[in-house]
Amino acid sequence: MPMRQLLVFMLLPLTLAACGGGGDDSSGSTSSSTTTTAVTAPSITTQPASVTVTTGSAASFSVVASGSSLSFQWYKAGTAISGATSASYAVSAAASSDAGDYYVVVTNSAGSVTSSTVTLTVTTSGSGTTTCASGTYTENVICAVDAFKATLTASQLATVQYSESSYTTAQLNVYKTQWSNLPNAVSRAGLALSSLTTSAQTAAFYAVADAALDDNGYEDFNGVLAADDYLGTMQSGYGSSGYRIAIIGTPSTTGLWTLQLGGHHLAFNIAFNNSAAYPTPHHIGIEPKASFTVNGATYQVLADKAAAMLAIFYGQSDSLSPTTSGSSALTAAYLTGQTFSDILIGAVEYNTGSYTTVAAKYPTSNRGTLVSSLTTAQQALVTAAITEFVSDYDSTIAADLISAYTSASAYANTYVAWGGPSGAAYPNIDTNTTYMRIDGPRVWIEISCQSGVVISNTTHYHMMFRDKVYDYYNELSTN
Protein backbone atom coordinates (compact mmCIF):
# COMPACT_ATOMS: atom_id res chain seq x y z
CA MET A 1 0.00 0.00 0.00
CA PRO A 2 1.02 3.64 -0.31
CA MET A 3 4.52 4.52 0.75
CA ARG A 4 6.15 7.89 0.55
CA GLN A 5 9.74 8.75 1.41
CA LEU A 6 10.34 11.16 4.23
CA LEU A 7 11.21 14.72 3.34
CA VAL A 8 14.95 15.08 2.85
CA PHE A 9 16.51 18.49 2.77
CA MET A 10 19.28 20.49 4.43
CA LEU A 11 19.22 23.88 6.00
CA LEU A 12 22.52 25.70 5.83
CA PRO A 13 23.34 28.23 8.58
CA LEU A 14 22.18 31.69 7.79
CA THR A 15 25.04 34.06 6.89
CA LEU A 16 25.28 36.90 9.32
CA ALA A 17 26.96 40.12 8.14
CA ALA A 18 27.93 42.77 10.67
CA CYS A 19 27.19 46.30 9.48
CA GLY A 20 28.96 49.37 10.95
CA GLY A 21 31.29 49.58 13.94
CA GLY A 22 31.52 51.21 17.36
CA GLY A 23 33.74 54.22 18.25
CA ASP A 24 33.76 57.94 19.08
CA ASP A 25 32.97 60.52 16.43
CA SER A 26 33.39 64.26 16.44
CA SER A 27 30.05 64.75 18.18
CA GLY A 28 30.91 62.30 20.85
CA SER A 29 28.04 59.93 19.85
CA THR A 30 28.60 56.20 19.58
CA SER A 31 27.33 54.20 16.59
CA SER A 32 25.52 50.93 17.36
CA SER A 33 26.16 47.53 15.79
CA THR A 34 23.36 46.07 13.59
CA THR A 35 22.94 42.60 12.04
CA THR A 36 21.20 41.56 8.81
CA THR A 37 20.39 38.09 7.52
CA ALA A 38 21.22 36.99 3.99
CA VAL A 39 19.04 34.21 2.54
CA THR A 40 20.96 31.52 0.71
CA ALA A 41 19.50 30.73 -2.70
CA PRO A 42 18.54 27.08 -3.25
CA SER A 43 20.80 24.64 -5.02
CA ILE A 44 20.32 20.96 -5.77
CA THR A 45 22.98 18.69 -4.33
CA THR A 46 21.38 15.35 -5.35
CA GLN A 47 19.20 15.15 -8.46
CA PRO A 48 16.16 12.83 -8.65
CA ALA A 49 16.67 9.58 -10.56
CA SER A 50 14.50 7.86 -13.15
CA VAL A 51 12.46 4.88 -11.94
CA THR A 52 11.02 1.76 -13.60
CA VAL A 53 8.30 -0.20 -11.76
CA THR A 54 5.57 -2.70 -12.55
CA THR A 55 1.88 -1.76 -12.45
CA GLY A 56 0.57 -1.59 -8.90
CA SER A 57 4.00 -1.10 -7.33
CA ALA A 58 5.10 1.98 -5.40
CA ALA A 59 7.34 4.50 -7.13
CA SER A 60 9.03 7.60 -5.77
CA PHE A 61 11.37 10.43 -6.67
CA SER A 62 13.37 12.54 -4.23
CA VAL A 63 15.68 15.51 -4.35
CA VAL A 64 18.26 16.80 -1.89
CA ALA A 65 18.63 20.57 -1.88
CA SER A 66 20.43 23.17 0.18
CA GLY A 67 19.31 26.67 1.01
CA SER A 68 17.14 28.52 3.49
CA SER A 69 13.38 28.05 3.98
CA LEU A 70 12.90 25.82 0.99
CA SER A 71 9.63 24.95 -0.72
CA PHE A 72 9.09 22.27 -3.34
CA GLN A 73 6.73 21.72 -6.27
CA TRP A 74 6.79 18.61 -8.44
CA TYR A 75 5.65 18.65 -12.06
CA LYS A 76 4.56 15.95 -14.51
CA ALA A 77 4.82 16.79 -18.21
CA GLY A 78 5.16 20.46 -17.29
CA THR A 79 2.01 20.58 -15.12
CA ALA A 80 2.16 21.10 -11.36
CA ILE A 81 1.02 18.06 -9.38
CA SER A 82 -1.53 19.04 -6.75
CA GLY A 83 -0.23 18.47 -3.22
CA ALA A 84 3.25 17.40 -4.38
CA THR A 85 5.10 19.97 -2.31
CA SER A 86 7.69 17.90 -0.46
CA ALA A 87 11.28 16.98 -1.19
CA SER A 88 9.96 13.63 -2.37
CA TYR A 89 7.03 12.59 -4.53
CA ALA A 90 5.53 9.11 -4.39
CA VAL A 91 2.96 7.13 -6.35
CA SER A 92 1.51 4.46 -4.09
CA ALA A 93 0.39 2.05 -6.82
CA ALA A 94 1.75 3.00 -10.22
CA ALA A 95 -0.54 2.88 -13.24
CA SER A 96 0.27 3.29 -16.90
CA SER A 97 -1.19 6.80 -16.65
CA ASP A 98 1.54 7.70 -14.13
CA ALA A 99 4.29 7.04 -16.67
CA GLY A 100 6.01 10.16 -17.97
CA ASP A 101 8.54 12.89 -17.30
CA TYR A 102 8.86 14.57 -13.89
CA TYR A 103 10.90 17.36 -12.36
CA VAL A 104 10.83 19.48 -9.20
CA VAL A 105 11.28 23.21 -8.66
CA VAL A 106 12.92 24.23 -5.37
CA THR A 107 12.22 27.79 -4.25
CA ASN A 108 12.87 30.31 -1.50
CA SER A 109 12.85 34.09 -1.27
CA ALA A 110 16.28 34.29 -2.94
CA GLY A 111 15.30 32.41 -6.08
CA SER A 112 14.49 29.00 -7.49
CA VAL A 113 16.22 26.08 -9.16
CA THR A 114 14.76 23.34 -11.38
CA SER A 115 15.93 19.76 -11.15
CA SER A 116 16.84 17.57 -14.07
CA THR A 117 13.90 15.84 -15.77
CA VAL A 118 13.50 12.17 -14.90
CA THR A 119 11.20 9.46 -16.23
CA LEU A 120 8.79 7.08 -14.53
CA THR A 121 8.41 3.93 -16.63
CA VAL A 122 5.53 1.61 -15.74
CA THR A 123 5.57 -1.92 -17.08
CA THR A 124 2.48 -4.14 -16.91
CA SER A 125 2.82 -7.40 -15.05
CA GLY A 126 0.37 -10.23 -14.79
CA SER A 127 1.06 -13.71 -16.07
CA GLY A 128 4.65 -12.97 -16.96
CA THR A 129 5.03 -10.40 -19.70
CA THR A 130 1.42 -9.60 -20.60
CA THR A 131 0.84 -6.02 -21.75
CA CYS A 132 -2.78 -4.85 -21.72
CA ALA A 133 -2.80 -1.50 -23.45
CA SER A 134 -3.00 -2.06 -27.18
CA GLY A 135 -6.66 -2.94 -27.77
CA THR A 136 -10.07 -1.43 -27.18
CA TYR A 137 -11.16 -0.53 -23.67
CA THR A 138 -13.07 -3.80 -23.25
CA GLU A 139 -10.20 -5.84 -24.69
CA ASN A 140 -7.71 -4.19 -22.34
CA VAL A 141 -9.89 -4.86 -19.30
CA ILE A 142 -10.35 -8.50 -20.31
CA CYS A 143 -6.60 -8.79 -20.85
CA ALA A 144 -5.91 -7.45 -17.35
CA VAL A 145 -8.59 -9.72 -15.84
CA ASP A 146 -7.14 -12.78 -17.59
CA ALA A 147 -3.63 -11.84 -16.44
CA PHE A 148 -4.89 -11.51 -12.86
CA LYS A 149 -6.69 -14.85 -13.01
CA ALA A 150 -3.51 -16.49 -14.32
CA THR A 151 -1.70 -15.60 -11.09
CA LEU A 152 -4.30 -17.27 -8.86
CA THR A 153 -4.52 -20.73 -7.34
CA ALA A 154 -7.53 -22.90 -8.13
CA SER A 155 -9.24 -22.02 -4.84
CA GLN A 156 -8.60 -18.29 -5.31
CA LEU A 157 -9.97 -18.45 -8.84
CA ALA A 158 -13.12 -20.18 -7.63
CA THR A 159 -13.65 -17.31 -5.17
CA VAL A 160 -13.20 -14.50 -7.70
CA GLN A 161 -14.99 -15.99 -10.74
CA TYR A 162 -18.79 -16.43 -10.83
CA SER A 163 -19.53 -18.19 -14.12
CA GLU A 164 -22.80 -19.09 -15.81
CA SER A 165 -21.83 -22.75 -15.66
CA SER A 166 -21.88 -22.71 -11.85
CA TYR A 167 -24.60 -20.19 -11.00
CA THR A 168 -28.08 -19.39 -12.23
CA THR A 169 -28.93 -15.94 -13.61
CA ALA A 170 -30.82 -15.15 -10.42
CA GLN A 171 -27.78 -16.06 -8.30
CA LEU A 172 -25.47 -13.98 -10.48
CA ASN A 173 -27.81 -11.00 -10.11
CA VAL A 174 -27.69 -11.36 -6.32
CA TYR A 175 -23.89 -11.22 -6.39
CA LYS A 176 -24.06 -8.10 -8.56
CA THR A 177 -26.01 -6.32 -5.82
CA GLN A 178 -23.76 -7.50 -2.99
CA TRP A 179 -22.08 -4.14 -2.35
CA SER A 180 -22.40 -1.69 0.52
CA ASN A 181 -21.09 1.51 2.06
CA LEU A 182 -20.52 -0.34 5.34
CA PRO A 183 -17.13 -1.54 6.64
CA ASN A 184 -15.52 -4.57 5.08
CA ALA A 185 -16.92 -7.05 7.59
CA VAL A 186 -20.19 -6.88 5.62
CA SER A 187 -20.43 -9.77 3.15
CA ARG A 188 -19.30 -8.97 -0.38
CA ALA A 189 -18.72 -11.02 -3.50
CA GLY A 190 -15.26 -11.92 -4.72
CA LEU A 191 -11.70 -12.28 -3.53
CA ALA A 192 -10.19 -9.96 -0.91
CA LEU A 193 -6.80 -8.31 -1.12
CA SER A 194 -5.95 -10.07 2.14
CA SER A 195 -6.29 -13.41 0.32
CA LEU A 196 -3.60 -12.55 -2.23
CA THR A 197 -0.37 -14.22 -1.23
CA THR A 198 2.23 -12.95 -3.70
CA SER A 199 3.37 -9.58 -4.95
CA ALA A 200 2.49 -10.67 -8.51
CA GLN A 201 -1.11 -11.28 -7.46
CA THR A 202 -1.33 -7.90 -5.76
CA ALA A 203 0.21 -6.10 -8.73
CA ALA A 204 -2.22 -7.86 -11.09
CA PHE A 205 -5.16 -6.85 -8.86
CA TYR A 206 -4.18 -3.19 -9.15
CA ALA A 207 -3.58 -3.64 -12.88
CA VAL A 208 -7.24 -4.65 -13.30
CA ALA A 209 -8.37 -1.50 -11.48
CA ASP A 210 -5.97 0.54 -13.59
CA ALA A 211 -7.33 -0.92 -16.83
CA ALA A 212 -10.97 -0.50 -15.79
CA LEU A 213 -10.69 3.08 -14.52
CA ASP A 214 -9.45 6.32 -16.01
CA ASP A 215 -6.86 8.46 -14.20
CA ASN A 216 -9.43 10.16 -11.95
CA GLY A 217 -11.13 6.91 -11.03
CA TYR A 218 -7.87 5.12 -10.29
CA GLU A 219 -6.77 8.01 -8.10
CA ASP A 220 -10.06 7.79 -6.19
CA PHE A 221 -9.70 4.02 -5.93
CA ASN A 222 -6.26 4.24 -4.34
CA GLY A 223 -7.30 7.14 -2.11
CA VAL A 224 -10.30 5.31 -0.68
CA LEU A 225 -8.20 2.23 0.09
CA ALA A 226 -5.60 4.46 1.76
CA ALA A 227 -8.33 6.14 3.83
CA ASP A 228 -9.42 2.76 5.16
CA ASP A 229 -5.83 2.04 6.16
CA TYR A 230 -5.85 5.40 7.94
CA LEU A 231 -9.07 4.55 9.79
CA GLY A 232 -7.53 1.20 10.66
CA THR A 233 -4.81 2.97 12.65
CA MET A 234 -7.56 4.24 14.95
CA GLN A 235 -10.16 1.47 15.03
CA SER A 236 -10.20 -2.22 14.18
CA GLY A 237 -12.35 -3.46 11.34
CA TYR A 238 -10.98 -1.07 8.72
CA GLY A 239 -8.21 -1.47 6.18
CA SER A 240 -7.53 -1.91 2.49
CA SER A 241 -7.00 -5.65 2.91
CA GLY A 242 -10.77 -6.14 2.95
CA TYR A 243 -11.37 -4.70 -0.52
CA ARG A 244 -12.48 -7.21 -3.14
CA ILE A 245 -12.65 -8.04 -6.79
CA ALA A 246 -15.39 -10.16 -8.39
CA ILE A 247 -15.86 -11.27 -11.99
CA ILE A 248 -19.52 -12.10 -12.55
CA GLY A 249 -20.12 -13.93 -15.81
CA THR A 250 -17.44 -14.85 -18.34
CA PRO A 251 -15.29 -11.97 -19.64
CA SER A 252 -15.88 -11.66 -23.36
CA THR A 253 -16.04 -9.03 -26.09
CA THR A 254 -19.32 -10.53 -27.29
CA GLY A 255 -21.15 -11.41 -24.09
CA LEU A 256 -22.56 -9.86 -20.93
CA TRP A 257 -20.43 -9.86 -17.77
CA THR A 258 -19.63 -7.61 -14.80
CA LEU A 259 -16.44 -6.46 -13.11
CA GLN A 260 -16.96 -5.49 -9.49
CA LEU A 261 -14.40 -3.70 -7.31
CA GLY A 262 -15.56 -2.86 -3.82
CA GLY A 263 -15.19 -2.45 -0.12
CA HIS A 264 -16.04 0.11 2.53
CA HIS A 265 -16.92 3.43 0.85
CA LEU A 266 -16.35 1.95 -2.61
CA ALA A 267 -18.39 0.10 -5.23
CA PHE A 268 -17.38 0.08 -8.88
CA ASN A 269 -19.87 -2.03 -10.84
CA ILE A 270 -19.01 -2.08 -14.56
CA ALA A 271 -21.30 -4.14 -16.79
CA PHE A 272 -19.81 -5.08 -20.17
CA ASN A 273 -22.05 -5.97 -23.10
CA ASN A 274 -20.27 -6.63 -26.39
CA SER A 275 -18.05 -3.56 -26.91
CA ALA A 276 -20.06 -1.29 -24.59
CA ALA A 277 -19.63 -0.75 -20.86
CA TYR A 278 -22.03 0.69 -18.30
CA PRO A 279 -20.29 1.89 -15.11
CA THR A 280 -23.14 2.22 -12.63
CA PRO A 281 -24.14 1.97 -9.86
CA HIS A 282 -21.01 3.67 -8.54
CA HIS A 283 -20.83 4.44 -4.83
CA ILE A 284 -17.85 6.20 -3.33
CA GLY A 285 -17.21 7.87 0.02
CA ILE A 286 -14.36 9.05 2.19
CA GLU A 287 -13.52 9.48 5.84
CA PRO A 288 -11.82 11.78 6.52
CA LYS A 289 -12.67 14.33 3.85
CA ALA A 290 -9.72 16.49 4.95
CA SER A 291 -6.12 15.76 4.03
CA PHE A 292 -4.58 12.75 5.79
CA THR A 293 -1.25 10.93 5.79
CA VAL A 294 -0.85 7.17 6.01
CA ASN A 295 2.07 4.89 5.19
CA GLY A 296 4.16 7.94 4.35
CA ALA A 297 1.81 9.27 1.65
CA THR A 298 -0.60 12.22 1.85
CA TYR A 299 -4.10 12.21 0.35
CA GLN A 300 -7.20 14.34 0.07
CA VAL A 301 -9.84 12.27 -1.66
CA LEU A 302 -13.03 13.39 -3.47
CA ALA A 303 -12.36 17.08 -2.84
CA ASP A 304 -12.74 17.83 -6.57
CA LYS A 305 -16.11 16.10 -6.78
CA ALA A 306 -17.42 17.89 -3.69
CA ALA A 307 -16.15 21.25 -4.91
CA ALA A 308 -17.77 20.79 -8.34
CA MET A 309 -21.14 19.97 -6.79
CA LEU A 310 -20.88 22.84 -4.31
CA ALA A 311 -20.06 25.29 -7.13
CA ILE A 312 -23.53 24.76 -8.61
CA PHE A 313 -25.16 26.14 -5.50
CA TYR A 314 -22.88 28.78 -3.99
CA GLY A 315 -19.43 30.30 -3.83
CA GLN A 316 -18.75 31.02 -7.52
CA SER A 317 -19.70 34.10 -9.51
CA ASP A 318 -22.14 32.00 -11.56
CA SER A 319 -23.50 29.85 -8.71
CA LEU A 320 -27.16 29.99 -7.73
CA SER A 321 -25.84 32.17 -4.92
CA PRO A 322 -22.33 33.68 -5.21
CA THR A 323 -22.19 34.16 -1.43
CA THR A 324 -23.25 32.29 1.66
CA SER A 325 -26.02 34.80 2.29
CA GLY A 326 -28.30 32.86 -0.06
CA SER A 327 -30.49 33.97 -2.96
CA SER A 328 -33.96 33.37 -4.34
CA ALA A 329 -32.51 30.90 -6.87
CA LEU A 330 -30.74 28.97 -4.13
CA THR A 331 -33.88 29.00 -2.00
CA ALA A 332 -35.92 27.66 -4.90
CA ALA A 333 -33.58 24.64 -5.16
CA TYR A 334 -33.91 23.81 -1.44
CA LEU A 335 -35.76 20.56 -0.66
CA THR A 336 -38.18 21.95 1.89
CA GLY A 337 -39.36 19.50 4.53
CA GLN A 338 -36.81 16.83 3.62
CA THR A 339 -33.88 15.75 5.77
CA PHE A 340 -30.96 13.59 4.68
CA SER A 341 -28.93 11.57 7.15
CA ASP A 342 -27.32 9.76 4.19
CA ILE A 343 -27.59 9.52 0.42
CA LEU A 344 -31.13 8.73 -0.66
CA ILE A 345 -30.36 5.79 -2.94
CA GLY A 346 -27.41 3.95 -1.48
CA ALA A 347 -27.14 0.16 -1.44
CA VAL A 348 -30.91 -0.23 -1.04
CA GLU A 349 -30.83 -3.27 -3.36
CA TYR A 350 -28.09 -5.01 -1.34
CA ASN A 351 -28.00 -8.77 -1.87
CA THR A 352 -31.41 -8.94 -3.58
CA GLY A 353 -30.71 -9.24 -7.30
CA SER A 354 -33.63 -6.89 -7.84
CA TYR A 355 -33.94 -3.24 -8.86
CA THR A 356 -37.40 -2.75 -7.34
CA THR A 357 -36.28 -0.86 -4.24
CA VAL A 358 -34.09 1.44 -6.32
CA ALA A 359 -36.76 2.32 -8.87
CA ALA A 360 -39.23 3.11 -6.09
CA LYS A 361 -36.91 5.65 -4.46
CA TYR A 362 -36.42 8.05 -7.36
CA PRO A 363 -38.49 11.18 -6.59
CA THR A 364 -41.30 12.20 -8.91
CA SER A 365 -42.11 15.58 -7.34
CA ASN A 366 -40.41 18.33 -5.30
CA ARG A 367 -37.19 17.69 -7.21
CA GLY A 368 -35.59 21.15 -7.07
CA THR A 369 -34.81 23.58 -9.91
CA LEU A 370 -34.80 22.70 -13.61
CA VAL A 371 -31.37 23.00 -15.18
CA SER A 372 -32.95 24.36 -18.37
CA SER A 373 -34.13 27.38 -16.35
CA LEU A 374 -30.57 28.26 -15.36
CA THR A 375 -28.21 30.57 -17.20
CA THR A 376 -25.73 29.15 -19.68
CA ALA A 377 -22.92 29.68 -17.16
CA GLN A 378 -24.88 27.92 -14.42
CA GLN A 379 -25.63 25.01 -16.74
CA ALA A 380 -21.90 24.76 -17.39
CA LEU A 381 -21.36 24.27 -13.65
CA VAL A 382 -23.84 21.37 -13.70
CA THR A 383 -22.03 19.85 -16.68
CA ALA A 384 -18.69 20.23 -14.87
CA ALA A 385 -20.05 18.40 -11.82
CA ILE A 386 -21.42 15.54 -13.93
CA THR A 387 -18.08 15.32 -15.73
CA GLU A 388 -16.23 14.94 -12.40
CA PHE A 389 -18.09 11.69 -11.75
CA VAL A 390 -18.33 10.29 -15.27
CA SER A 391 -14.64 10.88 -16.00
CA ASP A 392 -13.67 8.19 -13.50
CA TYR A 393 -14.14 5.87 -16.46
CA ASP A 394 -12.74 5.31 -19.95
CA SER A 395 -12.86 8.48 -22.04
CA THR A 396 -15.05 6.96 -24.75
CA ILE A 397 -17.61 5.78 -22.20
CA ALA A 398 -17.45 9.13 -20.43
CA ALA A 399 -17.99 11.10 -23.64
CA ASP A 400 -21.10 9.08 -24.53
CA LEU A 401 -22.58 9.48 -21.05
CA ILE A 402 -21.84 13.20 -20.81
CA SER A 403 -23.51 13.72 -24.19
CA ALA A 404 -26.60 11.81 -23.04
CA TYR A 405 -26.81 13.47 -19.63
CA THR A 406 -26.22 17.09 -20.70
CA SER A 407 -28.12 17.46 -23.97
CA ALA A 408 -30.76 20.17 -24.24
CA SER A 409 -33.53 17.58 -24.06
CA ALA A 410 -31.96 15.98 -20.99
CA TYR A 411 -31.49 19.33 -19.21
CA ALA A 412 -35.13 20.16 -19.91
CA ASN A 413 -35.94 17.37 -17.43
CA THR A 414 -32.93 17.53 -15.10
CA TYR A 415 -33.11 19.13 -11.65
CA VAL A 416 -30.53 20.36 -9.14
CA ALA A 417 -31.43 20.41 -5.48
CA TRP A 418 -29.92 20.65 -2.03
CA GLY A 419 -30.92 20.06 1.56
CA GLY A 420 -29.59 20.78 5.00
CA PRO A 421 -30.53 21.63 8.55
CA SER A 422 -33.67 23.69 9.04
CA GLY A 423 -32.91 27.35 8.36
CA ALA A 424 -29.73 26.68 6.37
CA ALA A 425 -29.01 29.46 3.86
CA TYR A 426 -26.61 27.43 1.70
CA PRO A 427 -25.05 23.96 1.51
CA ASN A 428 -22.28 23.73 4.10
CA ILE A 429 -20.10 20.63 3.66
CA ASP A 430 -18.94 20.94 7.26
CA THR A 431 -22.49 20.59 8.59
CA ASN A 432 -24.18 17.25 9.25
CA THR A 433 -27.20 16.47 6.97
CA THR A 434 -26.04 18.81 4.18
CA TYR A 435 -27.05 17.23 0.87
CA MET A 436 -26.71 18.02 -2.87
CA ARG A 437 -27.89 16.22 -6.00
CA ILE A 438 -28.38 16.21 -9.78
CA ASP A 439 -31.53 14.37 -10.85
CA GLY A 440 -32.10 13.80 -14.57
CA PRO A 441 -33.94 11.43 -16.90
CA ARG A 442 -30.95 9.11 -16.63
CA VAL A 443 -28.26 10.66 -14.46
CA TRP A 444 -28.49 10.57 -10.67
CA ILE A 445 -25.64 12.06 -8.62
CA GLU A 446 -25.89 12.83 -4.90
CA ILE A 447 -23.58 13.82 -2.07
CA SER A 448 -24.37 13.52 1.63
CA CYS A 449 -22.28 15.19 4.33
CA GLN A 450 -22.67 13.33 7.60
CA SER A 451 -20.98 13.18 10.97
CA GLY A 452 -17.82 11.13 11.15
CA VAL A 453 -18.03 7.52 12.30
CA VAL A 454 -14.42 7.03 13.39
CA ILE A 455 -13.29 10.66 13.39
CA SER A 456 -15.64 12.80 15.45
CA ASN A 457 -16.31 16.54 15.25
CA THR A 458 -16.16 16.61 11.45
CA THR A 459 -18.23 15.45 8.49
CA HIS A 460 -17.40 12.93 5.80
CA TYR A 461 -18.83 12.19 2.34
CA HIS A 462 -21.04 9.56 0.83
CA MET A 463 -21.53 9.94 -2.93
CA MET A 464 -23.67 8.08 -5.45
CA PHE A 465 -23.63 8.01 -9.25
CA ARG A 466 -26.40 6.04 -10.95
CA ASP A 467 -27.93 5.75 -14.38
CA LYS A 468 -31.69 5.27 -14.02
CA VAL A 469 -31.84 3.34 -17.28
CA TYR A 470 -28.55 1.44 -17.36
CA ASP A 471 -27.65 0.52 -13.78
CA TYR A 472 -26.36 -3.07 -14.04
CA TYR A 473 -27.01 -2.70 -17.79
CA ASN A 474 -30.72 -2.70 -16.92
CA GLU A 475 -30.57 -6.45 -16.38
CA LEU A 476 -32.12 -6.82 -12.93
CA SER A 477 -35.72 -7.63 -12.14
CA THR A 478 -37.97 -4.65 -11.31
CA ASN A 479 -40.96 -6.65 -10.09
Beta-carbon count within 10 A of 408 CB: 9
Specify whether the CB–CB gap between 45 and 65 falls below 8 A. yes
Beta-carbon count within 10 A of 374 CB: 20
Specify whether the CB–CB gap between 186 and 177 falls below 8 A. no
Specify whether the CB–CB gap between 34 and 21 falls below 8 A. no
Q: What is the pLDDT of residues 7-18, one digit of tens each?
A: 333 333 333 333
pLDDT of 35:
52
- Give yes or no for residue 26 having a pLDDT over 80: no
Stretch 115-135: mean pLDDT: 69
Q: What is the pLDDT of residues 419-445, one digit of tens each?
A: 999 999 999 999 999 999 999 999 999
Q: How confident is the model at residue 124 (pLDDT cuts 50, 70, 90)?
A: low
CA distances to 354, 396, 421, 435 from 281, rounded to whole Å, are 13, 18, 28, 19
Beta-carbon count within 10 A of 44 CB: 17
* Higher per-residue confidence, 96 vs 279: 279
d(CA 224, CA 252): 29
Tell me which DSSP letter residue 354 carries.
B
User: What are the helix (H) ranges across 1-120?
Assistant: none
Q: How confident is the model at residue 24 (pLDDT cuts 50, 70, 90)?
A: very low
Q: How far is CA 176 from the centre of its chain?
A: 22
* Higher per-residue confidence, 94 vs 200: 200
Specify whether the CB–CB gap between 110 and 15 falls below 8 A. no
What is the sign, positive or negative, of the torsion defined by CA atoms of 12, 14, 17, 23? Answer: negative
**What are residue 64's DSSP bridge partners?**
46
pLDDT of 275:
83
Q: What is the largest CA-CA distance in the chain?
A: 108
Stretch 207-221: mean pLDDT: 96
pLDDT of 93:
83
- Give yes or no for residue 468 having a pLDDT over 90: yes
Tell me which DSSP letter residue 192 carries.
E
pLDDT of 20:
36
| Structural domains of the chain sorted by starting position, each given as residue range(s) with its CATH number in brackets | 15-123 (2.60.40.10), 137-223+237-284 (no CATH), 303-474 (no CATH)
Q: What is the pLDDT of residues 298-324, one digit of tens each?
A: 999 999 999 999 999 999 999 999 999
Stretch 247-263: mean pLDDT: 95
d(CA 169, CA 173): 6
Half-sphere exposure (Cβ direction) of 354: Cα atoms closer than 13 Å: 6
Average pLDDT, the chain: 89
User: What are the helix (H) ranges across 286-355?
Assistant: 303-313, 328-332
d(CA 475, CA 272): 11
pLDDT of 355:
97
pLDDT of 247:
98
d(CA 146, CA 337): 51
**DSSP three-state, residue 176:** helix
The structure's pTM equals 0.76
pLDDT of 133:
82
